Amino acid sequence: MNRRDFLKTTALLGGGALMMTGWPGALLAQETPKKGGTLIWGHSETTQSLDMHVTGSASTLRLLENIHCPIVTVDKAFNVIPMLAESFEESPDGLTYTFKLRKDVKFHNGKTLDSADVKYSFDRVRDPKTGAVNFEVFKDVTAIETPDANTVIVKLGRVNAPFLSRLAENGAGVIMPAGSGEGQANMPVGAGPFKFVRREFGHEVELVRFDDYFEGPAYLDKVISREITEPTVRLTGLRTGELHMINDIPADRVTEVEGIDTLQTLKWFPLNFDFLNFNHDFEPFKDARVREAFDLMIDKEQLLQGALWDQGKLTASPSFPTSSSYDAALQQRPQDLDKAMALLAEAGYGPGKLKLVFKTTTNYPYHVESAQIMAEWFRAAGVEMKIEQLTWADWLSQVWVNRDFQISMMNFFTLWEPDFLYYSLWNSTGAFNYRNIKDAEIDALTQQARGTVDPVARADLYKKVQQRIHDQTLDVILWFRNGTIGAQKTVGGLDTIVHPNGSNLRFHKVWLNT
């Protein structure tokens, strides 16, 4: 069923390029890069704390990727490769990692990178007082040694198979100048291709080229990120030329933009996965029967068409689709309102007895539409639900930080590394477990996976985790969403902009052909 047919056959809403799997490679037309100019980027989200060790917001990380560099990174095939490190070595017993640092790296404050900066950064993430979202990456670290200015030795108390790959993702391995932590939230200082200049909160951020960047200076003089969360306003800015590029073309306008001669588009799969969240401390959702009932109320295909305009693909597994941990055999539950109502009645919630507040953020308009569609299905199953629309900052404060919610919806950006995905989101101590999930079996499996070196055996453990998430309906996994960028034809190097993780954007090799 396409979107047009969906709108004809349901009253739920009241009336109302280039496709690649994984990382978008160099497939767009190439020209000779030019130096200079200021790129105006229509950023679809509002940045939060600019401290890359602390922030858990993918929208903020997307910007900070241009200011900071990690000690290691990944290539297009997700192989861990050196970055600020010149090389790295793992001991045969998996308990010692030795990093040799590059000698040509300068921070934006003029300081040359050395081992003290690495130790400082790792210790800062490890320290509970910092509030780093990736604190548990260093859970097994027993010592960090710096025998000389260019050598760092990290010792573990037990094998942690994903340790290196976790350093390559989401800021865990980002190196900051020693002693700079206190000021990072408002004035980030890193070793990346652009320096932070200023921020007008909720409006725009200005970055300027760092000429001493160790991989060579960027082509652009500046990047200005204008935070425009309203999709139509963002698209209008692109069409009028006020903006050079935007991320997240409105789902219902992608085809239209692809047909405009003055614009170019980039589309890749996937950008993120979306899922329905239950607060497991809310009494009704402590009962697995109630959670399963809500899963059974949802027609996933109609939801994909109605809210996302078919700009994605259904999935029951949140694993990156090319990952060995992706369980293709796992199937979503089909809609069955009668069974849903029977489960609710069995749990003591007959028609009209369960009343909920669904907190969603206007930062993702398709989440609001999803909530509106689901509200009708929930109502048909005897559940009364009020939708509360929150700004991104309020959603983060209420749902993410304070866990003050009953039911919600969120997306996570690919999370290709399975430990990052499953430990962070579903382990009871995971940094991203804002749903208060406490499942002893998942805790044991995710910890076991950390100590399992064999990749096949590790992937099998993560498949067991997925099965447990599904069987207990800890969350409802909905779909993978496409990533999209629209840009003026004058923007060069667009094919280089998307990080292999499918989320972060990097402007180092982007230029303006004007």
Mean pLDDT, contiguous 10-residue spans, the chain (514 residues): 37 32 42 94 93 91 96 95 98 97 98 98 97 94 98 98 94 97 97 97 96 98 96 95 96 92 95 97 98 98 95 96 95 98 98 97 93 98 98 94 97 91 96 97 98 96 98 98 96 95 94 93
List phi, psi (to 5°) of 252.
-80, 0
Task: Domain ranges for the chain, please list them.
Answer: 3-13+272-481, 38-50+186-269+485-512, 68-183
CB 43 within 8 A of CB 49: no
Residue type present at position 465: V
CB 30 within 8 A of CB 496: no
Q: Which of 175, 173, 163, 174 is nearest to 417 (CA)?
A: 163
pTM over 0.85: yes
**Cα separation of 507 and 494, whole Å?**
9
CB 152 within 8 A of CB 102: no
Burial code (b: 16+ CB inside 10 Å, e: under 16) for 334-359 equals ebbbebbbebbeebebeeeebebebb
Q: Per residue, what are the HEC states of 139-167?
A: CCEEEEEEEECCEEEEEECCCCCCHHHHH
CA neighbours within 13 Å on the CB side: how many for 380? 18
**10 Å Cβ neighbour count for 111?**
17
Residue type present at position 475: D
CB 67 within 8 A of CB 191: no
Contacts of 513 (CB under 8 A, 6+ apart): 31, 34, 489, 490, 491, 492
DSSP at 117: H
* Tokens found for residue 184: 């990072």
- The C-alpha R_g of the chain, in whole angstroms, comes to 23
**Cα separation of 19 and 266, whole Å?**
8
**Cα separation of 71 and 472, whole Å?**
38
Tell me the angle at which helices 455-471 and 418-426 cross, rounded to the nearest 10 degrees: 30
Q: Is the dihedral of CA 151, 153, 154, 160 positive or negative?
A: positive
Q: What is residue 75's three-state secondary structure?
A: coil
What is the fold of 3-13+272-481? Answer: Dipeptide-binding Protein; domain 3 (3.10.105)
* Bond prior to 270 in cis (omega within 30° of 0): yes
**Cα separation of 64 and 44, whole Å?**
15
**CATH number assigned to the domain with residue range 38-50+186-269+485-512, chosen from the 4 options 3.40.190.10, 1.20.210.10, 3.40.50.1820, 3.90.550.40:** 3.40.190.10
Q: Which of 238, 253, 481 is nearest to 367 (CA)?
A: 481
Contacts of 486 (CB under 8 A, 6+ apart): 235, 238, 245, 246, 249, 257, 263, 264, 265
Q: Which of 336, 354, 246 is nearest to 297 (CA)?
A: 336
What is the fold of 68-183? Answer: Dipeptide-binding Protein; domain 1 (3.90.76)
pLDDT at 31: 76
Report strand pairing: 312-314 vs 475-488. antiparallel
* Tokens found for residue 506: 């990097």
Tell me the angle at which helices 365-380 and 288-297 cross, rounded to the nearest 10 degrees: 110
If 0-12 CB within 10 Å is exposed, 13-18 middle and 19+ buried, where does residue 33 land? middle
CA neighbours within 13 Å on the CB side: how many for 21? 6
* Tokens found for residue 510: 């982007």
